[in-house]
Amino acid sequence: MRIAMIGSGYVGLVSGACFADFGHQVVCVDKDARKIDALKQGKMPIYEPGLAELVGNNVRQNRLAFTTGLEEPVSQADAVFIAVGTPSRRGDGHADLTYVYDAAREVARALDGFTAVITKSTVPVGTGDEVERVMRQTRADADFAVVSNPEFLREGAAIRDFKHPDRIVIGTEDERAKAVMAEIYRPLYLNRAPIMYTERRTAELIKYAANAFLATKITFINEMADLAEKVGADVQEVARGIGLDNRIGSKFLHAGPGFGGSCFPKDTLALIKTGQDYEAPLRIVETVAAVNDQRKRAMARKVLAAAGGSLRDKTVAVLGLTFKPNTDDMRDSPSIPLITALQDMGAQVRAYDPEGMEQAREVLPGNVTYADSAYACAQGADVLVIVTEWEQFRALDLEAIKAAMKAPVMVDLRNIYPPDEAAKYGFAYTGIGRAPVARNRRLPGYS
């Protein structure tokens, strides 16, 4: 199949490269000439494990190409995917669909023969109807069907998720479009990936509902973590105990500093706005969003308590800046409000992240000091805070970390280390949903 992918950001680039790896002919289109030039040189605009190799291999095999010109690839395509950004709109939190509708107009002008036009971007319910209206208004004689095909990719595991999906949701009632979509995803037949055909609006809602439900699980276990600390329980054991119930499942039950990234914060807010527009308020989702925002700010108070009640002129070493490991994505990362609050409390912040420091410099205050390793980050620090669970942080030489620090205080916001292990190395340890563990002797300068 000949595929035009409009947008070469995270979703468009990963999807386009994977479709090409299936054997389809794919052209990724983007108006950002610098991004396209970089892609032609094999330079990725994002960090995603395995993506550079996947793109490079399919470019060499002449199955994947990049261009700034939309007309030719669209006119030759059997299917056109719209995978442009849908950020939260300033002022009201609705999804900004400007890029989607602009792309729809340009696609309509370039179509030649029947084409399936697929929204891969995350869009509110009813967007497909408006895309169809915009396209027909732009060009009444165009022959096309608008399809909803939401993505369910986890950053850091996107390629595997695309090639081994839990499900493929296709929203269309057009038989010609169904045939096109079946052929596009036919290579996944051996993986027995279930394809769910449904009505377009239903497919759009499935995406938002899935993200809202997962965000709810995260927020639920975070609130259980707060209670566990108060009553002397261990939230990790609580999560394991409820996760063994197959009605609940163990995924997304890891307590931490709150969810971030490009999807959950934006999509929960957009779903809330949709509910308000249709006079069907989503009280649970509203609470999830509010609790998550409050939690991110509360993490600084946990660091403050671990430091004895004052961070004035103390150095806090922050390990991990991205919202999750195996990505360089800083969007809505819990590290942003945490570091801002620590600085407001008078702390000097030093930070290290394996992939996210370049992006962090664009969103964090300018007086953050960046280190070139976890050990350099810990040098002379009064408190060490683990924010992102990178694998590199799971097996630190705790003896070396302790020796580097001014005072061995660890705040583990991802529960990477067992409290007893941290205490064995002499750390005063604070985790999430666990009782704090003191080391054997009082730390100088701390109460």
Q: Could you list the active site residues?
A: 263
**Residue matched to tokens 């990725």:** 44
Contacting residues for 184 by C-beta, under 8 A, at least 6 apart: 1, 3, 19, 22, 24, 79
Token pair in block for residue 109: 């002008």
User: Where do the DSSP E strands lie in 64-158?
Assistant: 64-67, 79-82, 115-119, 144-148
- Between CA 152 and CA 146 the distance in angstroms is 19
Q: Residue 150 carries which side chain, given as an amino acid letter?
A: P
Of 271, 265, 398, 372, give the one whose Cα is nearest residue 329.
265
Cβ pair 73, 67 in contact under 8 A: yes
94: phi then psi, degrees, rounded to nearest 5: -65, 155
Torsion of CA 8, 10, 13, 14, to 10 degrees: -170
Amino acid, single-letter form, for residue 316: V
Torsion of CA 348, 352, 356, 358, to 10 degrees: 60
Rounded to whole angstroms, the Cα distance separating 149 from 121 reads: 8
Query: What are residue 371's phi and psi, to 5 degrees?
Result: -100, 165
* DSSP classification of residue 154: P
Closest residue by Cα to residue 151 from 208, 100, 88: 208
- Helix axis angle, 283-306 to 264-277, nearest 10°: 150
Q: Is 319 left (phi over 0), alpha (psi -120 to 50) or beta?
A: beta
Other CB atoms closer than 10 Å to residue 357's CB: what's the count? 19
d(CA 191, CA 253): 27
- Residue 302 to residue 309: CA distance in whole angstroms: 10
